[in-house]
Amino acid sequence: MFRYTKLTLLREVGLWALALVFLAPFYFLVTTALKPDNELFTTSALAPPTNPDFSNFIDVLTATGNSNVVMGLVNSAIITAGSIVGLIALGSITGYVISRSTRRWSKGAYYLFLIAIILPGQLGAVPLYMGARALGLTGSAWGLIILYTGMLLPLSIFLYANFFRGLGTDYEEAATIDGASKSQIFSKVVFPMMAPATGTVTIFAGLIVWNDFFTSLIFLGGSANQTLPVAMYYYIGSLVSQWNSIFAIVIVSMIPILALFLFAQKRFIQGFSGGLKG
Amino acid sequence: MTATMQPKSEAAEAPRRGKRTPGTGENTRPRRGPMQFGHWWWALPGIALVFAIHYVATGIGGFFAFTNWTGIGSFKITGWTNFEAIFKDPTKLGALSNTLFLAFGSVLLGNIAGLVIALGLNRVVKTRYILRTLFFMPVVLSPLATAYIWKYIFDFDGPLNAFLTAIGAGDQAKPWLADPQWAIWTVLVVLVWSSTGFAMVIFMAGLAGVPVEVEEAAAIDGANLWQRFRNVTLPAIRPAVAIATTLGIVQGLRVFDPIMALTGGGPAGATETLATLVYKQAFALGNFGGGAALALVLAAIILIFAVLQQRLTRSNPED
């Protein structure tokens, strides 16, 4: 009975109309970024540029100092990749142990992580900053990687633990019987099986770290290791209503994540909907 | 597939198994409980890191909620003074009501929009995957970038006012973000825009689990579209609704980046929320004690809703 009828066609056309309205902000983003300065206030905000101009983008990519966007891209990539590695390594092993252990403390540890997910970060921000400064971790990519790993670890452990709970122990029993050691079982049997959970953690953590502004602003404050959102913030801070220049850097900042999303959109969406079912 | 193969291959290896681990082989099957996987101390680095970064730091921050600390120098323990100040100060109570309004407003509208789109995309629509990708796009953008785009749209010389003028409603044009009455609605629009795609994919996953046969049977029995939705689809996607709404509320209660970039809490506190106020008190105004007290109130509110979430997901029959 669920065939393609005229009504379905109508529904499809309606959805496309809705999508166009929904994505209108992207239209303004691109058309405005391509407008040369003299067109910005003379043409209607709704109209496309009459003489498209890429000079705004060249300005963005050649900016120096605090708003060095290319350096920001590199730093963001290093910090995001480092945090993901930390979150997968620590999250998988911790999630594995607390979901497989039958001892009483493991349940307590599970709730420890669950509550940590919902604690608002601002309360700990100042003590954390003082602690990080005392340890010499502010202003460096390493410090931020450790910090992000710690901040997002509860989420990572939670996702892994839920995944293990749904996974039988048959393979691990079989491996034990075949004489594999505990660390062999984890690295050779269990870790490859948790690829879906690893994918979800990568996507969640990657998005959060890549897009995060507040933490990197505070902990990298003024150093040469600015991340992309901070570089964008400083770049835009020097512009007032220069929307064409502002949008050029907004586009540059979102190209990597949008490209990755469009390239691996199935993974992304499955990660989002699958990881949260638990 | 691999799971169903498992008993066979195990049975085939059974004779060899005894040789490799003599003595233990006979015990492994019935003794499921005592069999241990992994060493407990493997969890220590993770627990230590979470403890230090979340609990110690938050605990110290929580302690300062009962002091008059400015962020540097010495301090005095002042007991509940900071909390009394919160509940006497109308701007802070205003921020509390803004926080609740934005959290529940964005969850309600974002989820309704997400559900409607998910229902629309459900089954037979040919371009559903392209549309799904398009509707999901705002979710991956950074809140900062999203805020800048919308700031322009709501700008006095921006597209929204240009559109209103073009359709002959130019008298409605206003500086949306600077208008005390409208600013919070513009923030709400932005929050809904960036969360709709997220709700949509959770609902799409939930809808994919609704059996076609049941819906068909209901249709044959003469149930109309609304009855089918109300009595067949909705009960089946209840877990998805619980997840999408409660996650949205927890996220919505502590929303910070978009508001800071859009309005900075203004005009005149019209879009101030607890999260932006915590930041201003603790970092900009040198009132760390007061900021910490506000953060504790925010934490308590979030915890209450998180517990409600646990209750909601517990009560679903799948658990």
Q: Is residue A30 part of a domain?
A: no
Tell me: cis bond preceding B267? Omega within 30 of 0 counts.
yes
A124 contacts on B by Cβ (under 8 Å): 53-54, 57-58, 60-61
pLDDT of residue A217: 83
B25 with A177: Cβ contact below 8 A: yes
B42 with A127: Cβ contact below 8 A: no
A211-244 residues labelled b (16+ CB within 10 A) or e (exposed): bbbbbbbbbbeeeebbbbbbbbbbbbeeeeeebb
CA-based nearest residue to A93, from B60, B65, B39, B203: B39
pLDDT tens by residue, B98-124: 999 999 999 999 999 999 999 988 877
A15 with B288: Cβ contact below 8 A: no
Q: Tell me, what DSSP letter sits at residue A42?
A: T
Looking at the predicted structure, is the pLDDT value of residue A171 above 50? Answer: yes
- Count of A–B CB contacts within 8 Å? 287
B142 with A98: Cβ contact below 8 A: no
Query: Which pLDDT band holds residue B26 (cuts at 50, 70, 90)?
Result: very low
Interior angle at CA B245, CA B239 and CA B248, nearest 5: 135
Interface test with B, best of A97, A123, A187, A245 (most B CBs within 10 A): A123
Percent of chain B with pLDDT over 90: 17
Query: Which pLDDT band holds residue A209 (cuts at 50, 70, 90)?
Result: very high
Q: Is residue A107 part of a domain?
A: yes
CA distance A44 to chain B (A): 7
Helix, strand, or coil here: A110?
Answer: helix
Query: Which pLDDT band holds residue B187 (cuts at 50, 70, 90)?
Result: very high
Are the beta carbons of A163 and A121 closer than 8 angstroms? no
Phi and psi angles of residue A41, each rounded to the nearest 5 degrees, phi first: -105, -5
Q: Is residue A155 part of a domain?
A: yes
pLDDT of residue B19: 40
pLDDT of residue B18: 38
Phi and psi angles of residue B36, each rounded to the nearest 5 degrees, phi first: -105, 140
pLDDT tens by residue, A217-230: 888 876 777 899 88
Amino acid identity of residue A162, one-letter, is N
With a CB cutoff of 8 Å and minimum separation 6, the contacts of A7 are none
Residue B61, Ramachandran bin (φ over 0: left; ψ between -120 and 50: alpha; else beta): alpha
Residue the block writes with tokens 């407008």: A35
Q: How many domains does chain A have?
A: 1
More confident residue, A163 or A74: A74
pLDDT of residue B28: 43
Q: Angle, to 10 degrees, between the axis of helix A104-118 and the axis of helix A69-100?
A: 150
pLDDT of residue B315: 55
pLDDT of residue B310: 66
Residue the block writes with tokens 């407003």: B105
A12 contacts on B by Cβ (under 8 Å): 125-127
Query: Which pLDDT band holds residue A276 (cuts at 50, 70, 90)?
Result: low
Interface test with B, best of A6, A12, A88, A122 (most B CBs within 10 A): A122
Enter the ipTM.
0.86
How far apart, in whole angstroms, are the C-alpha atoms of residue A235 and residue B56? 35
Would you call B150 an interface residue with chain A, using a CB distance cutoff of 8 Å? yes
pLDDT of residue A83: 96
pLDDT tens by residue, A89-148: 999 999 998 888 777 788 888 888 888 887 777 778 778 888 888 888 888 889 899 999
More confident residue, B55 or B209: B55
Q: Is residue A22 part of a domain?
A: no
Q: Angle, to 10 degrees, between the axis of helix A141-165 and the axis of helix A122-134?
A: 130
**Closest CB to B201 among A94, A213, A272:** A272
Least confident of A61-75, A248-262, B9-23, B184-198: B9-23
pLDDT of residue B204: 87
CATH for A148: 1.10.3720.10
Q: A168 lies in which domain range?
A: 65-275
Percent of chain A with pLDDT over 90: 20
A46 with B163: Cβ contact below 8 A: yes
CA distance A40 to chain B (A): 10
CATH number for region B68-314: 1.10.3720.10
A276 with B247: Cβ contact below 8 A: yes
Would you call B36 an interface residue with chain A, using a CB distance cutoff of 8 Å? yes
Phi and psi angles of residue B219, each rounded to the nearest 5 degrees, phi first: -65, -40
Residue of B nearest to A131 (CA): B57
How far apart, in whole angstroms, are the C-alpha atoms of residue B240 and residue A202? 22
